[in-house]
Structure 1
Amino acid sequence: MTTKEIVIEAGQELRGDVDETLTVELRSGKAEIFGTELAIGQKYQFTSGMKFSIFTYWGCTVNIISSHDDYYVARDENPTHIYLNVHGMLEQLRQKAESEKTRGPRIMVTGLPDVGKSTLCRMLVNWAARLGRTPILVDLDVGQNQISIPGTIAAMVIRRPASAEEGFRIDMPLVFHYGYKTPGENIGLYNEIVSSMAMYVNIRSENVEKSLISGVVVNTCGYIRQEGYESFKHVAKTFDVDIIIVLDSEWLATKLVSDLPSVKVITLPKSGGVVPKDAAKDKFRENKIREYFYGPKNNICPHVFTMEFNEIKIYKIGAPQIPDSCLPAGMILKNPYNKILPIAPSPALVHHVLSVSSSNDPEQLLTKNILGFVVVQHVDSDKRTLTLLSPQPNVKNKLLIVSDILFVDMK
């Protein structure tokens, strides 16, 4: 490990993709990571696969402790000032809502894949939290969710800025099961759970004045073609958004202006630090699930226990689409996307993530949120038992929903 002192000029950004362990210490000046302010003298540690971006408005000096030069000071045009201006506009709308006792701004962030949508959402809610606001962050990205694990959509009230190292402190999130990596695998189900999420978020906003004034920030998937574009419009209407921020896509912005004339559409540039990350997406998903069970710094010890087949009931949401030519004459299969199918425990479930439903009624699996997750580690068909990995010593609710998301626990 070597220590290097780096001077970052005003308006510049230090970017890094960590190969191994990297430690950052702010020595002088002021700086932030994705809207979270750094403290002078505090060491921030980033582990393999993590990405960071240190931006300074006034200039600063940092120490980097690393065995690799997996970082650089970017001198390209940085859009952070533009993003901060958007934050200023949103704060003015919150102040107006506060004085008039009305609803604060509702923002949806969209664009092509890998343009920095999640990062912009994180910055906007972090800046709001630093002013004492409590916006609701809704993450509809089922592939790389900031709040929950892959295969879900989630929302939570942001009461404090995210940790520079570990992200948001997950405090009582609202999570809905989807079970697939992309919206296109079951777009009907995706739209239905988005509607369920919007209903709960609307209830929260209407009953808590501070959340009503602070507004809602909605992050979306980078999926804009065919059904995906219609899904964007569904999200905008369901959450009743006032502003849509489109990152790096004039085509999408123009189309949304035409189709949603009552919504203000803003086009913003993406950051130069955003790069395509297809090769890293599977690693991100694996790390997110591992973090759920073991903690962000491997400081949690999960439980492994056995349950009998008759103690639980397992379901899958969504039946395969059958071509009309394969159906009996005159038969119409209604809504196969949200069909609730009982699943018999078998070795095929090994390594699958299962969602623990809050419902006691299988018919309500679509409309009820989930309580947590377990992973099937082993199935003994002879003894009729399953071995589960869980953050809790038992599963209190016995209705489980199988996901297509896999996690192989190598620890």
Structure 2
Amino acid sequence: MSIPGLGQIAPPQPTTASATRTITLRPFWEYRFEVSRRSGPTTSSATASSLANPAASTSAAASTNATTIRLTTGKAERDGTELALNHTYAFPRGTRARILTYTGATLEVAGELPASERVAEYARPEDSPEVQVLNLHFALQEQRKKARERRSAGGRPDPPPGPRVLICGGPDAGKTTVARTLTGLATRAGGQPLVASLDPRDGMLALPGTVGAAVFGTVMDVEDPAGGFGVRGTPSSGPSAVPVKLPNVYYFGRERVEEDVPFWRTLAGRLGGVARAKLAADSAVGETGLVVDTPPASVAKGDVEMLRHAMTEFAANIVVVVGSPDVHAALQRAWGSNKTLYGEPVTFLHLDKSDGVVPRDYEFAKFTREAAIKEYFFGDAKRTLSPFTQSVGFDDLAIFKTPDDAQGDYDNGPAGLERAEISAEMSHWTLAVMNAAVSDPPETIRQAPVMGFVAVADVDEDRRRLKVLSPVSGRLGNRPLVWARWPEPYINLLG
């Protein structure tokens, strides 16, 4: 496979079927689509009645190998981030997205036909689940106004910050979409929300397998497959059309929280401490508040305690449950009479699950993980990065790994790390570069923030050397590297 940035010549791509058509949306209607994950001709497989008679025509946009959308009239947005009028947005392969309008809009869809698409129609605006999200945003704006007034009035030395919203629910409930929407709306209103993701499957502004937090003081990238939460929103060796965010990232190295609950609790506590300090130190962030996206939760699996821990660490005063009435009821029973560390009562809200939420199947999750890793090192169609490749002696590196049989427990805390031995098994894994010293204790290294990631392209066991791929040049031996068990090495970046 040819990869841009390595001097290889990419093979010619097959010609793709193309069409251009107009989609007309009424107030609170949504256009939902998924771009094909495969190269080559594709056809639409799930078109709503509104798309039954499109005016198909040939378009040069097909050569971009993506679906493009242009807002021609009205106003529309993707998860809270407004689309510019008459600007063409190109959505890469594997993108699942929705375009929503509150006032009515006309879209021009061109390029490859999406693998699936439909228009969500509502006879009355109040029937749309987005009305609940919009009303929540307005309520949060009122709390932000009060937080601003408290800080301006003085008096109490540590006035409560703006709203701290914890979003939870079951699997595939649309929690992250709600988090992105609230973030986008707050940013459009001039705020600087602090956003945290505690779900290691997503890896907000970082690779999967991480948890992190960042201030969103600028707009999000509409074309980002992850809706603005993806790796293209972070600093890199290439230019970016959208101002980058600077996240605090910790490496969990597992796909699911239940694989090492004690370590997840430790990292959630560290992120909560970072969040509280940021809310106190930065007045603009403190007034806007916090949005926290949590892992999927189930009452049957006993996940209420996990959510209670997150509520405590982030001092959440608003808990939003998307779908999952049982989770909402269980949290109210367990936490309804408690107060935050600022002495505030906790408000519990239940939002309806959108009928547009599509379950993440294994193949889709695998595709998005691979795409995030590739984009981290090589960029995308609009921004080609040139990663640095170096051959490093294994004995010049400090590589640690979590023992396969070490899960951690509540009595002894998170599992520790041990020095890794050179092995061909390391090939194609990504390693986290930790912001710690090589001489630090293993538990300190594991709980340290992440500076970045490198990929092991090849292992020469006889010569005890590794070929390592990194976003920028630099000496690796002065920082410890952590080799965790997820995400797995599905791809060969230099193949």
TM band (smaller chain): over 0.9
Q: 1:276 is aligned with what amino acid?
A: P
Q: 2:121 is aligned with what amino acid?
A: R
Could you tell me which runs of 5 or more consecutive residues in structure 1 were left unpaired when the two chains were aligned.
Answer: 324-331
- Assess, with a 3 A threshold, how the Cα gap between structure 1 residues 24 and 322 changes in structure 2: closer, same or farther: closer
Q: 2:27 is aligned with what amino acid?
A: A
CA shift, 1:343, in A, is 1.1
Deviation by residue 1:357-392 (Cα, 9 ceiling, x = unmatched): 000024411332010001111111111111112111
Q: How does 1:8-407 map to 2 (within 5 A)?
A: 8-19=25-36, 21-69=66-114, 70-76=116-122, 77-101=127-151, 102=159, 103-166=161-224, 167-168=228-229, 169-170=233-234, 171-224=245-298, 225-261=300-336, 262=338, 263-279=346-362, 280-297=364-381, 299-317=384-402, 320-321=405-406, 335=412, 337-360=414-437, 361-363=440-442, 364-396=444-476, 397-404=478-485, 405-407=487-489
CA shift, 1:402, in A, is 0.6
CA shift, 1:9, in A, is 1.0
CA shift, 1:333, in A, is 11
SS of equivalent to 1:138:
strand
* Separation of aligned partners in 1, 2:360 and 2:250: 25
- Assess, with a 3 A threshold, how the Cα gap between structure 1 residues 260 and 10 changes in structure 2: closer, same or farther: same
- Assess, with a 3 A threshold, how the Cα gap between structure 1 residues 78 and 209 changes in structure 2: closer, same or farther: same
- Assess, with a 3 A threshold, how the Cα gap between structure 1 residues 321 and 374 changes in structure 2: closer, same or farther: closer
* Separation of aligned partners in 2, 1:381 and 1:41: 56
Retained in 2: the 8 A contact 1:193–1:366?
no
Retained in 1: the 8 A contact 2:433–2:451?
yes
CA shift, 1:217, in A, is 0.5
CA shift, 1:399, in A, is 0.3
CA shift, 1:66, in A, is 3.1
- Assess, with a 3 A threshold, how the Cα gap between structure 1 residues 22 and 322 changes in structure 2: closer, same or farther: closer
- Assess, with a 3 A threshold, how the Cα gap between structure 1 residues 389 and 130 changes in structure 2: closer, same or farther: same
Q: 1:313 is aligned with what amino acid?
A: A
CA shift, 1:409, in A, is 2.8
Deviation by residue 1:77-117 (Cα, 9 ceiling, x = unmatched): 42112101101001100100100123111011000111111
CA shift, 1:319, in A, is 5.8
Equivalent of residue 7 in structure 1, options 10, 19, 24: 24
Percent of pairs with identical residues: 29
Retained in 2: the 8 A contact 1:183–1:228?
no
SS of equivalent to 1:2:
coil
* Separation of aligned partners in 2, 1:172 and 1:362: 27
- Assess, with a 3 A threshold, how the Cα gap between structure 1 residues 207 and 25 changes in structure 2: closer, same or farther: same
CA shift, 1:12, in A, is 0.5
Q: 1:143 is aligned with what amino acid?
A: R
* Separation of aligned partners in 1, 2:407 and 2:169: 32
* Separation of aligned partners in 1, 2:475 and 2:331: 44
CA shift, 1:238, in A, is 1.0
Retained in 2: the 8 A contact 1:17–1:71?
yes
CA shift, 1:318, in A, is 5.6
SS of equivalent to 1:181:
coil
Retained in 2: the 8 A contact 1:143–1:151?
yes
Retained in 1: the 8 A contact 2:434–2:450?
yes
Retained in 2: the 8 A contact 1:118–1:146?
no
* Separation of aligned partners in 2, 1:395 and 1:274: 44
Question: Which consecutive segments of 4 or more residues in structure 1 shift more than 6 A?
Answer: none
* Separation of aligned partners in 1, 2:322 and 2:352: 6
* Separation of aligned partners in 1, 2:170 and 2:141: 26
* Separation of aligned partners in 1, 2:91 and 2:167: 27
In structure 2, the partner of 1:326 is none
Q: 1:271 is aligned with what amino acid?
A: S
CA shift, 1:321, in A, is 4.6
Retained in 1: the 8 A contact 2:407–2:415?
no
CA shift, 1:229, in A, is 2.6
Retained in 2: the 8 A contact 1:78–1:272?
no
* Separation of aligned partners in 2, 1:182 and 1:302: 30
* Separation of aligned partners in 2, 1:333 and 1:238: 17
SS of equivalent to 1:240:
coil
SS of equivalent to 1:337:
coil
Is the strand fraction higher in 1 or 2? 1
SS of equivalent to 1:81:
helix
CA shift, 1:338, in A, is 2.4
Retained in 1: the 8 A contact 2:34–2:95?
yes
Tell me whether 229-238 or 161-170 shows the greater mean CA deviation: 161-170
Q: 1:199 is aligned with what amino acid?
A: G
* Separation of aligned partners in 2, 1:292 and 1:362: 29
Q: 2:480 is aligned with what amino acid?
A: L
Deviation by residue 1:271-309 (Cα, 9 ceiling, x = unmatched): 111011123111111112222112243621212211111
- Assess, with a 3 A threshold, how the Cα gap between structure 1 residues 202 and 333 changes in structure 2: closer, same or farther: closer
Q: RMSD over aligned Cα, in angstroms?
A: 2.0
Deviation by residue 1:164-199 (Cα, 9 ceiling, x = unmatched): 102253322100011111111111111111111111
